[in-house]
Amino acid sequence: MTVNMSSLANGLTVLSDEMPHLKSTAVGVWVSAGSRHEKAGQHGISHLLEHMAFKGTSNRSAVAIVEEIEAVGGELNAATGLEHTSYYARVLEEDLPLAIDILGDILVNSSFDPDELHREKHVILQEIGASHDMPEDRVFDHLQELAFPGQPLGRTILGTPDTVSDFNPSDLHQYMDTHYRGPSMILSAAGAVKHEELVALGKEALSSFDAEESPLPTPATYLGGESRDLQRDLMEAQVILAFEGRSYKDKDFYTAQILATMLGGGMSSRLFQEVREKRGLCYSVYAFHWGVVETGLFGIHAATGAENLEELMPVITGELARAAEDLTEVELNRARAQIKAGLLMGMESPSARAGQLARQKLLFGHPKSLEEMIDSVANISVADVRDLAGNLITGSPPSMASVGPVENLMWIDEISSRLGCAPAATEEQIKAVGGGL
């Protein structure tokens, strides 16, 4: 596989990875604009904009957009994240010009018809309601708000009923004009694609975007805290214990990824074996780590019955404490193998590969080679992981969110005492970051 990269005159980057054995192409446009780029009155506009992209342009109706792509057996979709929004398609090789024409059309010529906007806002209001009915979604929303209170990074991607209901077509156009600019956009394709053709198609479809740099998001500050959403009618309790993680630009970012895999990345991981297999304390338990440009979040999620809560957190905190002392070379090698396999398997999927290339360019400034990605974890030692485990726990106050019958859950003060965590954020600190809205 050979990655090619070019730039259009307006600063938009074109990336491709040709996979000669394939007959289809995955192609998309990734924009460095997500929910954390929103101001307070714009909460949810990135997600609404993603929905409205398929609701008609000056050239195509909403029906025509889906009919044209499905008439050639293709697929069209989009997704909104904290820092990025993506619009992507999967088509046969000969239909790449159509896919890029449609992607360009929905990004350049969306009409944001008031009637379509009214209907789509109603759809999103139902989506918000559905998320409130899903305890696992709700506990992650609570966690994000605790970790980054009063800040764009601490808000949900979906928005609120009030903010979503208030948006009008002018709001959408203004947000696009501000954030959808050439230097913050990537056209990425993988599969049956020729780079020269992709550049020519991209130039025709996407050259109208402004060449000026997009504004940077409000800097985020991790603070932490506790939230208990007591729901006695639920059979299962959802609990997340988290700490400040590492930025994807931090030298320890991949060490934190390794630690998450060793602690709770599979059925052989410490948490799964100790918490579920040996003690039967929960159905689901895993560790996770994600980073943004200046910070990150490292956490453990568990789903269990109320009768197990009293024993659950002492076991989890015990495993966290032990991680800084006795993680082994065998565990490290297993985690490396899992990460390497995930990278290689992802590169076999054109959709995953196109997205990987785009995200790496947006995050690191260039797409990484396979060797570079593997080297990122190959040189990490057991001592590195142990040191990071200790630093993560003691270097920041914890965040703990829970939903369900959680009366017997250990309080965060006791968790901090057991682990020697940094002190909780003060009210003054929380108020100080409120200007980030």
What per-residue string of b and e applies to 302-326 under the rule 16 or more CB within 10 Å gives b?
Answer: bbbbbebbeebbebbbebbeebbee
What tokens were used for 24? 């289809």
418 vs 318: CA distance, rounded Å? 9
What tokens were used for 394? 């003691």
> Residue 11 — φ and ψ, nearest 5°?
90, -5
426 vs 414: CA distance, rounded Å? 17
What tokens were used for 58? 């000056």
78 vs 54: CA distance, rounded Å? 9
Comparing CA positions, the residue from 273, 305, 354, 325 lying closest to residue 96 is: 354
Assign 74 to helix, strand or coil: coil
341 vs 415: CA distance, rounded Å? 35
Is 50 a known active-site residue? yes
The per-residue DSSP string of 281-331 comes to --SEEEEEEEE-SS-EEEEEEEEEEGGGHHHHHHHHHHHHHHHHHH--HHH
65 vs 76: CA distance, rounded Å? 9
What tokens were used for 43? 């909460």
What tokens were used for 260? 């998450």
Beta-sheet pairing, 185-191 with 13-18? parallel
Catalytic option among 50, 83, 244, 331: 50
Q: Is the Cβ–Cβ distance between 436 and 430 less than 8 Å?
A: no
CA R_g for the chain: 23
239 vs 230: CA distance, rounded Å? 11
The contacts of residue 132 (CB under 8 Å, 6+ apart) are: 138
Type of residue at 323: A
Specify whether the backbone of 73 is left (phi greater than 0), alpha (psi in -120 to 50) or beta: left
Specify whether the backbone of 159 is left (phi greater than 0), alpha (psi in -120 to 50) or beta: left
Assign 408 to helix, strand or coil: coil
Q: Which residues are catalytic?
A: 50
